[in-house]
């Protein structure tokens, strides 16, 4: 199989967009995954986990090919280092999605009934951040065409601002769900409580990772 640049030409912009789309496709599988977990449908949950792993590997292939074939002297209004930092920020989201699914399946981990009403909206909001980051990254080719100037920059800056607002909302939801866990700690084993706290932090890490993608994109625009 040839390099990804054979498909997209010498510019790394489209492969970066493709990578982010694959990353978000990976992350958003967590919603049906947890729907299955809440139903204790471990067969379906395991199948979705395998899909998450497969999508993460596909994202890794794009990442590796891009890193291997990214020239050192690109005639672009962005630096090679900044592009690689953006790629790493995107990669974090897919890796975290895989970590979450693997943790749940390996421990046959259940969500306490009292948390369910706020758990799925919390997960959904964190995935909104990944979706918004993907939306912003998909504007990279337009940014390149305009030389990272003009109205397109303002459009992307507004997208990044929305992303930050989503991430802030997810942090507030994390605080709420942590408090709910604290309230039921005595009903849980110590190890279950520890892993539950870890789980919700990892889910919030998806939103934090998406915000970091936005920050790296903001740096590209600023320079």
Q: Determine the Cα–Cα distance for residues 161 and 139; give it in Å rounded to an integer.
A: 15
Q: What digits encode the pLDDT tens for the residues 58-76?
A: 999 999 998 888 766 555 5
Q: What digits encode the pLDDT tens for the residues 88-121?
A: 999 999 999 999 999 999 999 999 999 999 999 9
Q: What's the DSSP call for residue 146?
A: T
Class of domain 8-222: mainly alpha
Query: What is the pLDDT, as a whole number, of residue 7?
Result: 41
Q: Where are the beta strands (DSSP E) in 166-206?
A: none
Sorted by where each begins, the domain ranges of the chain are: 8-222
Query: What is the pLDDT, as a whole number, of residue 137?
Result: 96
Q: What's the DSSP call for residue 29?
A: T
Q: Determine the Cα–Cα distance for residues 210 and 59; give it in Å rounded to an integer.
A: 15
Q: What's the token pair of residue 174?
A: 């994390």
Q: What's the token pair of residue 148?
A: 């990272």
Confidence (pTM): 0.91
């Amino acid at each position: 199989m040839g390099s990804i640049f054979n498909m997209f030409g010498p510019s790394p912009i489209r492969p970066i967009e493709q990578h982010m789309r694959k990353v978000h496709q990976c992350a958003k599988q967590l919603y049906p995954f947890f729907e299955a977990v809440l139903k204790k449908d471990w067969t379906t949950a395991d199948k979705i986990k395998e899909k998450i792993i497969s999508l993460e590997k596909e994202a890794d292939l794009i990442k590796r090919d891009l890193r291997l074939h990214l020239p050192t002297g690109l005639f672009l209004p962005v630096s090679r280092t900044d592009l690689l930092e953006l790629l790493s920020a995107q990669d974090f989201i897919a890796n975290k999605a895989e970590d979450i699914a693997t943790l749940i399946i390996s421990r046959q981990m259940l969500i306490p009934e009292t948390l369910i009403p706020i758990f799925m909206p919390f997960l959904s909001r964190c995935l909104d951040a990944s979706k918004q980051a993907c939306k912003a990254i998909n504007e990279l080719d337009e940014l390149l065409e305009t030389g990272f100037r003009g109205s397109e920059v303002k459009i992307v800056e507004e997208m990044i601002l929305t992303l930050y607002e989503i991430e802030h909302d997810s942090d507030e939801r994390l605080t709420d769900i942590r408090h709910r866990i604290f309230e039921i700690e005595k009903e849980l084993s110590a190890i279950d409580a520890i892993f539950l706290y870890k789980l919700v932090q990892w889910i919030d890490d998806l939103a934090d990772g998406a915000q970091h993608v936005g920050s790296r994109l903001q740096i590209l625009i600023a320079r």
